[in-house]
Structure 1
């Protein structure tokens, strides 16, 4: 492996294909940053440090304040900082440009790019239309104008179709449809009180939803107070012709190499709704071999998996995963046919080529534990009978919970239960937070155990690990009895405990609101 953080990972894929692959870079929007998002990259790769330091200097020149602490440090202060649009926008741009340079050093060059909301500025950098320092100054000014001139606002992602979202926003004055990410993935926005009202309605109707970690209502009428000032800033930016295809999420149009961004386009891009569903449609029409997400988390990869299920997708980073996602992305690119420069990733880690044996492996069994499949009792395991019985009961409970997780996951994702293996990462199934909110609600109702989204994605990640977490927290009572009574040394009791039948979860309404 390339790093200790990759230990235990396995990637199953076909071998590399012939010819240069069509790689599309997709750039994440503002809701994705988190404290320390660039720390692992900064510590490992000199080219990343170089880009981040250029951006830090440009930010200091514009504001007098450093940018690196937002990218590298953690803690309560940084958590609050990444929610502020005047800091989140330049921090995200800096990280994304550093990833672009890193992948370029690794020999990975995109065939086309697209960006979600503010991610479009880093996409312009990758397309050769926006110099690094100028881009950092632009997004810094953009974020500061929004914070200074636009009122506080909020946004909420909801599992609605566009007609349902339009009907809901029409019923709440001040609410707007700000983003369409997919057929049943909308983002609604407006003043804080308005979004709180939207959340109450969504909760009452049983519609999965998630409040986004932002402090303004982007892509709504609340942006209007800063548009003229933004226009003046944009008029001074030295945009140059793109060197590759640029797919804008403003309208889903694929603009060929040679297109020059202009002020009117960027002003409209700030005010009008994001149509990332249309951008993915245009990307799919180019028959890409792989979509590589350029950002701090897996937000767009999940959307792309659902919209383009036959296209390979990979995130560059995943929250809580160190550089694990980066190694996985390099592997996916290799399997898609990219000529990855592995020296960049191996440098400084001690990895090297090793010779393999020139003869057939000898079939000698080196198993050190109990014989696989052999019955284990207190004698063979060395455990007291009561301890062994408790362990058997606990494993039975884990299997019971795992079955419920697989059933709920397959239903919410529209998958056949046989496709949801216990050790399949939720991410590989195309999971996003809205879908998993519904799964966790059903599991909480059935097992009376609360699991947070952070625990789901950072501490478990697979159905089996989630089952073990729930089993550790499940209260004693009917559930543990249903997993099977602990065996006793005396005669079996005449009365068996009543079986546990959990109530069926309430169905999530998919009908548009009245």
Structure 2
């Protein structure tokens, strides 16, 4: 029997005006957004709807903005009678997946995300790190090549078979890009990000997140979530708390995640939230899976 999965995008998919059409044209969306905005101690609404772009790009705003929009959209998709068998999210998108699976209520999931944004920003400012995207090379070859680099540099985001992101110390990243190009990578380019996310340099963020997570009312999930760091199903409180800790300095195994969903009968995936990045990645991982992107009121009306 065919199964459905919901997946949620990560950082980079934000844009000024995100969620505004939903807020202004749908009462359910407006109520959910207001609940989220009232639960935060900063003005996320203004940042999302009016920007400017520089403000929305700050991790403190970006991460909760993406998760807030994703979860409000998710609620509206469910109202159409579409319910997932499984959920997953890419990087910060995993926090939207937490809300979707039932680990946390929507406003709590966004609040925890805003803490994540702040703490990751804080740690990123203390370490001189960055990230780079490597295209046209197998992940296993990248991992092997990184062993030749002095300093900390790790393969962290396994986005699709020929696209992997590396993260670590700035000098180590530069050297790695040089080595990878010489070994046949089509491109190895540094990304405009504020820190070495998902690398071991971010471990202090994991410690703070683990502490913070204990203040929230988690409950066992109703729907299995495929964890970023393992590519395995989780549904217990203890498992999601471990994932919150590990994911801040552990990998995003997106290729394994999609394979896991496929193995378990998923043939239709809804990408819910801003942008269409995941739709593109999924098509490169498995052409047979049908991907439906839901990122505005029009998409909802077309379901």
| TM-score over 0.5 for the pair | yes
1:278 aligned partner: 256
Contact 1:31/1:213, CA 8 A, preserved across alignment: no
Question: Helix, strand or coil for the counterpart of 1:171?
Answer: coil
| Secondary structure in structure 2 of the residue aligned to 1:186 | strand
Equivalent pair of 1:158/1:185 in contact (CA under 8 Å): yes
Q: CA deviation at 1:312?
A: 0.8
SS of the equivalent of 2:216 reads coil
Highest relative contact order (Cα 8 Å, sep 6+), 1 or 2?
2
Q: Deviations over 1:80-125 (max 9, x none)?
A: 2233222211111111111111112222211111111111111111
Distance 1:206 1:123, change over 3 A: closer
Question: 1:52·1:94 contact (CA, 8 Å) conserved in 2?
Answer: yes
- C-alpha offsets along residues 296-331 of structure 1, whole Å, 9 cap, x if unaligned? 1111111111222112111112xxxx6554455x1x
Matched, 1:161 2:141: no
How many residues align? The count is: 297
Cα deviation per residue 1:390-411 (whole Å; 9 max; x = unaligned)? xxxxxxxxxxxxxxxxxxxxxx
Find 2:214's aligned residue among 203, 212, 235. 235
2:63 to 89, 113, 116: 89
> What residue number does 1:69 align with?
46
User: Does the 8 Å contact 2:8/2:93 carry over to 1?
Assistant: yes
Say if 2:200 is the partner of 1:221: yes
TM-score normalised over the length of structure 1: 0.54
- 1:124 corresponds in structure 2 to 98
Question: C-alpha distance in 2, partners of 1:155/1:186?
Answer: 11
Equivalence for 1:31 = 12
Q: 2:14·2:274 contact (CA, 8 Å) conserved in 1?
A: yes
The equivalent residue for 2:284 is 306
Q: Which residue of 2 aligns with 1:508?
A: none
Matching of residues 432-443 of structure 1 within 5 Å: none
SS of 1:189's equivalent? strand
Q: How does 1:43-62 map to 2 (within 5 A)?
A: 43-60=24-41
The CA RMSD over aligned residues, in Å, is 2.4
Q: Which moved more, 1:170-179 or 1:94-103?
A: 170-179
1:511 aligns with none
Note closer, same or farther for the CA distance 1:143–1:179 as it changes in structure 2 (3 Å cut).
Answer: same
Normalized per residue, the structure richer in strand is 2
Shift in Å, 1:267: 0.7
Give the 3-state SS of the residue equivalent to 1:271 in structure 2. coil
Gapped regions of structure 2 (runs ≥ 5): none
Deviation at 1:209, TM superposition (A): 4.6
2:77–2:300 contact (8 Å) kept in structure 1: no
- The aligned residue for residue 287 of structure 1 is 265
Q: How does 1:304-383 map to 2 (within 5 A)?
A: 304-317=282-295, 323-327=297-301, 330=303
Q: Greater Rg, structure 1 or structure 2? A: 1
2:110 paired residue number: 136
